[in-house]
Amino acid sequence: MPEISVVVPTFSEAENVLELHARLARSLAAEDWELIFVDDDSPDGTAEVVRELAQRDRRVRCIQRIGRRGLSSAVVEGALSSSAPLLAVMDGDLQHDETILPALIGELRSRDLDLAIGSRYVEGGSTDGWGRRRALMSRLAGRLARGLVPAELRDPMSGYFVVRSSVVREAARRLSGYGYKVLLDLFASARRPLRYVEVPYAFGRRSRGESKLDSLVVWEYLMLIADKRLGGVIAPRLLLFAVVGGSGVITHYAVLSLLYLAAGAPFTLAQATAAGAAMTSNFFLNNLLTYRDRRLHGLGLLRGLASFYAVCSLGALANIGIAAYAFAQKAEWALSAAAGILVGLLWNYLATARLTWRAGRNEGA
C-alpha cells in the first residue's frame, strides 16, 4: 500500500499527463506513492494517455467518469478509491508547484495536523501572472467563504493540499461536491475544526492546454456556498431550478405580450406559444447552469428536451389542479395559487432530475 496517493482531476489535460508524472517522480523520489487521475471523459483522450502511462508505471491509475463532471466530486471519488493514509490533491495543469509536496507531507508527519495547504497568500506565496479580473474573483470568493472556514485561513480557495485520508472519509457523506473548491467544502463539512498549516508556493503560469475557469464556475461556487449556508435544508440545485423557473415566467409574459398585444394574435395561440417558449428557455438555462455537471449534448439534448416538455406539461396540470382544489376549499386565491406553484415546482424538479438530467444520460455527447 502506498503511503500517499496523489489525486489529480482532469478534463482535457492529455498533453500535461506525462510531464506531471515526471515532475512528481522527481519530487516524491523518497516516498512510496501512487498517482490517481480522475478524468471526466475528456474529448482529447486524456484517459487513454493515462492508461498507456499506467502500462509502464504500476503506480499510475485512471478513473474515467462517464456522464458526470466537476472537480470536487472527481477529487472525492479519487480519494475514496485510495487506501493510503495521506492524500495529495492538485490540478493537472502544471500550475501547482510539485516541489513543495515533500514539505506538505513533512508537516503532517511531524505535527498533529489534518491538512497542509499550499497557499498563494501567505508570505513567500504569489499569484504572479494573474490578471485583475482573476485576482478580483479570487478575493470576492474568499469573502463569500467567511464563516465557513477559519478566519485565519489565508487561502481558502486553494486547490492544492495534502490531507489525512481519514478526514476525507469522515466528511465524505456531508460534502456537497459542487464546483471547484473542494478545500472549502471539506472545511465546511467537517464535524470538528480542522487543524491545518499553510505552506507558501508560487502559482505557476499555464503553458499548455486551456484554462477551465469560466463565468459558469461562479454558479457552481455559489451553489456550494448556498448549500453550506443553508445547512443542507434546501438543495441549492432546487433553488437554482426555482430561479430559472422565475426567468421562465418573465419569458412567458414577454412572448405573450408581444404576440397578443403587439401582433394581435388570438389569446389562446399567444398563450400556448408563450408557454412553449418559457419551457424551452427553462430547459436550456437548466442544462447550462443547474445541471452543468450533467449537461446534455447531441442526441441526449434532444431527448432531454422532449422529456422536459412532457414532465413540465404534467407539472402545469398539477399546478392548476392543486390551486383549483385549494380555492374550492375556500382558501385565499393567492395562497391557492402559491400551493399550485409549489407543487408544480417540486414535481418538475424531482421528475426532471430523474428523467431528464439523470447521471450518465449524455447520448451523442
Cα separation of 128 and 226, whole Å?
31
**CA angle, 351 then 245 then 279, to 5°:** 70
pLDDT over threshold 70, residue 72: yes
pLDDT over threshold 50, residue 365: no
Q: Contact 31/59 with Cβ under 8 angstroms?
A: no
Ordered by start, the domain boundaries in the chain are 4-229, 236-355
| Average pLDDT of the chain to the nearest whole number | 86
At the second CATH level, the architecture of 4-229 is Alpha-Beta Complex (3.90)
Least confident piece of the model among 53-57, 81-85, 92-96: 92-96
Candidate ranges 175-189, 226-240, 311-325; pick with highest mean pLDDT? 175-189
Contacts of range 280-285, beta carbons closer than 8 Å, 24 or more positions apart: 280/305, 281/247, 281/248, 281/251, 282/244, 282/245, 282/247, 282/248, 282/251, 282/308, 282/312, 283/308, 283/309, 283/356, 285/244, 285/247
pLDDT over threshold 90, residue 170: yes
Q: How confident is the model over 35-49, as pLDDT tens digits?
A: 999 999 999 999 999
Q: What is the mean pLDDT of residues 169-196?
A: 88
Write the burial class of residue 231 (CB in 10 Å: 0-12 exposed, 13-18 middle, 19+ buried): exposed
Q: Can you give the pLDDT at residue 305?
A: 93
Q: What is the mean pLDDT of residues 192-196?
A: 95
Q: What is the mean pLDDT of residues 186-198?
A: 93
Cα separation of 76 and 104, whole Å?
20
Specify the DSSP class assigned to residue 65. Answer: -
Cα separation of 168 and 3, whole Å?
16
Q: What is the mean pLDDT of residues 268-290?
A: 87
Q: Contact 34/82 with Cβ under 8 angstroms?
A: yes
Residues 6 or more apart whose CB falls under 8 angstroms from that of 272 comprise: none
- The pTM of this model reads 0.74
Q: Can you give the pLDDT at residue 360?
A: 47
Sorting pLDDT into bands at 50, 70 and 90, what band is 364?
very low
Sorting pLDDT into bands at 50, 70 and 90, what band is 235?
confident
Cα separation of 330 and 103, whole Å?
70
Q: What is the mean pLDDT of residues 91-111?
A: 94
Sorting pLDDT into bands at 50, 70 and 90, what band is 337?
low
User: Which is more confidently placed, 152 or 236?
Assistant: 152
Sorting pLDDT into bands at 50, 70 and 90, what band is 215?
low
pLDDT over threshold 60, residue 362: no
Q: Side-chain half-sphere of 226: how many Cα atoms within 13 Å? A: 15
Q: In 3-state terms, what secondary structure has residue 229?
A: helix
User: Which is more confidently placed, 55 or 249?
Assistant: 55
CA distances from 294 to 289, 302, 354 (A): 10, 14, 12
pLDDT over threshold 90, residue 342: no
